[in-house]
Structure 1
């Protein structure tokens, strides 16, 4: 149970971090930097939202890992 709580806390932290990255992307004047920040934020938000929706005990699905070929 503590491990599940830890994963949830980590996912919530990542979701908040993604929101901060989106805000930072909106404030920067450099279009390339803004695009990089948005990309990182989107990836982080997708991963954290997937973790928050995950059923307890289900395996973690990492979008950065390649699936079966």
Structure 2
């Protein structure tokens, strides 16, 4: 997680994922816009829920304070 995005690591390849190393792929799962994280069409359904978005917004706030 950073201020602009949440990156998910996966062992599953797909067109929107970038190969990192040793069978691990990265995908930007959520992006931050306005005042909240938003999902893409290909974002896993559980990461789209209000509860998950609330958690990641909270973690982003903590991270923002830590990097000041």
Q: Normalising by the residue count of structure 1, what TM-score does the alignment of the two structures yield? A: 0.37
Considering only CA atoms, is the larger Rg found in Structure 1 or Structure 2?
Answer: 1
> Could you say which structure has the higher helix fraction?
1
> Could you say which structure has the higher strand fraction?
2
Q: Normalising by the residue count of structure 2, what TM-score does the alignment of the two structures yield? A: 0.37
